[in-house]
Amino acid sequence: MTVKGLLTSVAILLVITPGLRAETVYVTDELRLRLQAEPTEASAVVANLGSGDRLELVDRAGYFSLVKTTDGKEGWAKTAYLITEKPARTQLVELQAEFKALQDSVGPDKLELASLQEQLQITGQELEQSQVDASERAARLEQLEQENAEYQQQLGIGEWKMPWRWATAGIVFSLLAGIVLGMLWFDSRSRKRHGGFRIY
């Protein structure tokens, strides 16, 4: 059944059902409806009604219904555009408002929990990234050590080592030679200062 057919059925049902008083009706979806002073098209417009507006049904006369708005205005509206249940759009808006109210009523503890969970997730991601970085660094270090060993092998570094006895003898000889040369230099300087005489 189409929307137009459904509206027609509702209109016929409302027209043939006499004697209803103080029934609540709503303006149907996607509509601007005129509230008129008399049950005719040519009568003066009392107010403009919007989709989902709540009205009190007072009486019916042919294709028009006498209704009262929530702010107390009374007039005639076309019966075909009045329905007994809230339009889907109005219900959706009300449900969204209820959901928003529920979200606002959630305690700060739950909001803090959500924040902590988010921080925990971020920390976990950072930890995973750190582990990946550490693995990459370890692999890079191993690669560099291997390249260094290859370079040393190519250059022949570390293949020849001086015996420790020769090294010790060289150090002792260097020290003795330094002492002797130092004494000779000191003697030469002293004699120059004192006219060729040693004063020690």
Q: Are residues 43 and 83 in the same domain?
A: yes
Amino acid in the structure at residue 128? E
User: Tell me: the pLDDT tens digits for 69-125?
Assistant: 989 999 998 888 888 887 777 777 777 788 777 777 766 667 778 788 888 888 888
If asked whether residues 8 and 63 sit together in one domain, one would say yes
Asked whether residue 74 falls in the same domain as residue 143, the answer is no
Instruction: Write down the pTM of the prediction.
Output: 0.39
Q: Which domain holds residue 148?
A: 124-158
Can you tell me the distance from the alpha carbon of 85 to that of 13, in angstroms, rounded to the nearest whole number? 14
Does one domain contain both 71 and 137?
no
In a domain, 186, yes or no: no
Q: Is 198 a member of any domain? A: no
Q: Are residues 13 and 74 in the same domain?
A: yes
Query: How far apart, in whole angstroms, are the C-alpha atoms of residue 29 and residue 85?
Result: 11
CB 78 within 8 A of CB 38: no
**Is 84 in the same domain as 137?**
no
| In-domain check, residue 56 | yes
3-state secondary structure of 30: coil
- Provide the domain count of the chain: 2
CA distance 4 to 10: 10
The CATH number of the domain where 81 resides is what?
A: 2.30.30.40
3 touches 35 (CB < 8 A): no
Q: Which neighbouring-strand residues pair with 56?
A: 24, 68
pLDDT band at 10 (very low <50, low <70, confident <90, very high): very low
34 in Cβ contact with 48 (< 8 Å): yes
Amino acid present at 125: Q
